[in-house]
Structure 1
Amino acid sequence: MSVAMDYVPPSVEKPLGALPVVRDYLARLDVAGTIDRLAPMRDKANRATHGEVIAALVANRLTSPTPLLHVERWARDWAVEEMFGLAPDVLNDDRLGRALDALAPVCEAVMGSVGTAAITTFDLDISRIHSVMTSISLHGAYPEAEEDYATPRYGHPKDRRPDLKQVRTGLAVTGDGGIPLVHRAYDGGAGEAAKTARALKLGRARADLDTLTRTAGSHHLYRTEAAVKARLTLLATKHRVTHYLVATTNVDPDTGRPDLTWHFDAAALDAEATTDGWYTLPHEIGPGEVRARYKGQEVVGRRYGAFKSPLAVEPMFLHSNQRIHALIHVICLALLIFCLIERQARQGAGPDGKISGLYAGRPARPTGALILGTLSKLRLVPAQGSRPAYIPRPPHLHQHLLDILGVGPTRPDYFDRQPARVMHRNPMRKRRG
């Protein structure tokens, strides 16, 4: 008697990682739908909408950040097609570039809509907001930058690389969980936004004050000293220069014509410049509340740490500042999801604020990086023949994290084309003959 075994070898596993979680959060915030409403496709022949492509790019940043040139390879190696229904070749660098071009003009509108969805969906407390700016160094010359988008320029970057051009970014996060709801990209080259704004304000005020000086006593509107003073007060208020404008009006005793002399107080300007970047608080709060709020400011610094490290905003190799502008906002969308995941995990942690086994087998306070790093070990076995794709049963810690985050990786809607199953081991068929 002989026994024959017909063995069907399992397919090579694909990294699944946090893709189920990322897809779930993208859906809760309606990221793809929002982009498609604001930047609809003109060419109906495309196999993916701009929103679907950008959503996949956000997922890449949260699981395995890579330059645009290598996103297609990431999609081929990872379980991207099973999770997002996109063939890997759809995510080639040319298609990604066109999606960024479509996103760039509507970045602020997308961030506003998605931020609003985050507030309502996750019940965020927005009574306190912390903000700060940073710089992002770039590799390239950018001789023909688009004026409508953040323009790379030389300046004083935070990484002390004055040989590289930079753009600057501003981020505002909630005191509740440090969730980034507002993001802006600015031209590089300015030491601080306040300094640039003040220079523009003084320039506009100077032009109007010079005009008033020339026309005082001669223009029919400013024939009297009272008229000159009234105009002077209006200009000082309009341009917000009252605190450092020093002006004197006189009347010529022979002609009766008024004249004006003025200058900006250099000491007052220097004093204002020393407060650039200060964290301002309402004057009516007490010392204890001042301390508590100031301590909360560190959360926005930590978010920029994630922005530049796990999400890999640098180095950035793009030919167009329009695409740089869009990619920065894509990474901010990834940061939003990163922070929401962290916030929800902390809400679901134990009484001591920790999750057992999260760090080197020991209890730890959950962070976005720890959660995504732990989930990175999840795998998916692709479909083969008549056998559907399946996910080997997650270990206890991984399943616990998925439960806290409210994500079920085997729900049918995660596999639009090929339903998946959870199995304890890889399937094997045996046949006796």
Structure 2
Amino acid sequence: MNQPLSGINIVNLDHLGIVAGIIDEMELVEEVNKKVGIKTKETVSPGQVMKAIILNGLGFLSAPIYLFDTFFVGKATEHLIGEGVTPEQLNDDRIGRALDKYHQAGTTQLFTAIALKAAKKFQVEMNSVHLDSSSISVEGAYKTCQEKSQDIETDSSGPADEMKAIKIVHGYSRDKRPDLKQFIIDTIVSGDGDVPLYLKIDDGNADDKSVFVARLKEFKNQWTFDGICVADSALYTAENLSAMAGMKWITRVPLSIKSARQKISAIEDKDWESAQIKGYKIAAITSEYANIKQRWIVVESDIRKQAALKKIAQQVEKQLESASDSLR
């Protein structure tokens, strides 16, 4: 028997149905509920709230948190999030309480647990991982310390560093906005598909050189990782190299180090070999910087070399003109 049209309620899935399906396949809701815990009177679990936050973030819409529930009006919330879930239940109070729970459980630990389950589910290879940091600029005024009325009651079982509020301050801005305050996101992704495996939020003025090794060690402890760690030149300091004993790593040696400049200058013509890519040459040299044996690969580009020589010639000509003027 056909149902009358007046009794049919039409709701949308859009592209969010695919996102919800992936979330269900990696069992994100169950993992979050296990780590955070569920109260008996909660109609929407913390895992379902996180699923809703992800769907909202991928919904091509930016809105304040107090309008969070309006995003789901007209959408199939029961099909997307869970049976019995309505847009009215996804209000800003519910979102705020869930965010507090994530903080108490430890955002880094929660993220890593989810990533570990997803990596195993989708068989992500981890022969190598890549570490880097990004700055997120924000607008508005931020207090340097929390008032007692704003303090969140923390769980004694959680990690101490997760409970400490980050400092939103000025620092080196990767997005070219030094006028704005910021915070830092340290991320480790897999070499296979750039899948995020680890995330840590830092102060806005955190120095990569001082935190990179700590991040790699935390990651290695949580993932039992034995592959190669890849990072930029911020990783290459004498202190970091000593701290990374027993780890496999690849990084770029900064030319600010005196021994690096000396070794590159000492490379003879016979030491260069043609690379597989036309216009490039490579030379392999050894180093024991920080009392650690290393293998350096030096790459020379013909185009960059000619450009550098041209620039040097211009500087010499400019200095010659200046000297001639002074002589006159």
Shorter-chain TM-score category? 0.5 to 0.7
Correspondence list, 1:390-409, <5 A = none
Q: Which protein is bigger by CA-based radius of gyration? A: 1
Counterpart CA distance in 2 for 1:183 and 1:64 is 23
Question: With CA pairs under 8 Å and 6+ residues apart, which has the higher RCO, 1 or 2?
Answer: 1
| 1:115, distance to aligned residue in structure 2 (A) | 1.5
Counterpart CA distance in 2 for 1:84 and 1:136 is 29
1:189 paired to 2:210: no
Counterpart CA distance in 2 for 1:197 and 1:111 is 18
Structure 2 match to 1:104: 103
Gaps of 5+ in 1: 1-5, 199-238, 244-267, 276-281, 292-433
Correspondence list, 1:29-428, <5 A = 29-42=26-39, 44-66=40-62, 67-85=64-82, 86-105=85-104, 106-143=106-143, 144-145=145-146, 148-190=164-206, 192-194=207-209, 240=239, 271=257
TM-score with structure 2 length normalisation?
0.55
Counterpart CA distance in 1 for 2:75 and 2:204 is 36
| 1:45, distance to aligned residue in structure 2 (A) | 1.9
Gaps of 5+ in 2: 152-162, 214-237, 243-253, 262-292, 302-328
Superposition CA RMSD, Å: 3.7
TM-score with structure 1 length normalisation?
0.43
CA contact (8 A) 1:17 1:63 kept: no
**Candidates 24, 27, 30, aligned match of 1:27:** 24
**In structure 2, do the counterparts of structure 1 residues 148 and 53 end up closer, same or farther at CA, with 3 Å as the change threshold?**
same
Counterpart CA distance in 2 for 1:34 and 1:242 is 36
**In structure 2, do the counterparts of structure 1 residues 134 and 242 end up closer, same or farther at CA, with 3 Å as the change threshold?**
closer
**In structure 2, do the counterparts of structure 1 residues 127 and 153 end up closer, same or farther at CA, with 3 Å as the change threshold?**
same
Q: How many residue pairs align between the two structures?
A: 211
| 1:195, distance to aligned residue in structure 2 (A) | 5.6
| 1:140, distance to aligned residue in structure 2 (A) | 3.0
Counterpart CA distance in 2 for 1:179 and 1:114 is 12
Amino acid at match of 2:208: A
| 1:131, distance to aligned residue in structure 2 (A) | 2.1
SS of equivalent residue, structure 2 residue 140: coil
Q: Deviations over 1:258-303 (max 9, x none)?
A: xxxxxxxxxx99638x99xxxxxx9559789xx9xxxxxxxxxxxx
Amino acid at match of 2:51: A
Structure 2 match to 1:210: none
**In structure 2, do the counterparts of structure 1 residues 157 and 15 end up closer, same or farther at CA, with 3 Å as the change threshold?**
farther
SS of equivalent residue, structure 2 residue 166: coil
| 1:113, distance to aligned residue in structure 2 (A) | 1.5
